[in-house]
Amino acid sequence: MPRGWSARRRDAGAAAVEMALLMPLLLLLVFGIIDFGRMLNAQITVTEAAREGARAASLSPSQNPAGVEADARARVNRVAAGFNATTTVTANCIGSPAPGDDATVQVTYQFKFATPVGFFAGLLPNGTADGSMPLTSTGVMPCRA
């Protein structure tokens, strides 16, 4: 046997133990990056949907509250296609609105983690026990006079 051979064999076991200890932390970091990117994309979409919904409500040609709300919801659903979002519309843009009247749209989406990082979502301030996180955004636009 060449000299130093037995020392290399002993080190092979140490490398396997180090890998076994570090691999869960490395995977948790990679999964966290993946889910954070997905959650950031979802938050941007929810924000855009709320803004577009408020714009649609403020510019709605309808003269009844149900029509304004329907216009805003349709716009939110178009922007946030594929998301099962909850939309709340408050619009004072019927008839001839006062200068300070606004159309407000709040969009809430329950984000579900795709990786095991969702297990830790319950530890976050807004996280739920089922491993999801509510994402909420509010859009406000002045009514068209």
| pLDDT tens-place string over residues 121-131 | 767 777 676 77
Task: Of 2-11, 27-36, 87-96, 132-141, give the lowest mean pLDDT range.
Answer: 2-11
- Domain tally, the chain: 1
> For 58-98, what is each residue's pLDDT tens digit?
988 877 888 889 999 999 999 998 888 999 998 888 877 88
- Confidence grade of residue 33 (pLDDT, cut at 50, 70, 90): very high
Q: What is the pTM of this model?
A: 0.81
pLDDT at 39: 92
Task: Of 2-6, 92-96, 97-101, give the lowest mean pLDDT range.
Answer: 2-6
Buried b / exposed e across 64-73, counting CB within 10 Å, b at 16+?
eeeebbbbbb
Domain holding 80, by residue range, is 5-142
Buried b / exposed e across 109-130, counting CB within 10 Å, b at 16+?
bebbbebebbeebeeeeebeee
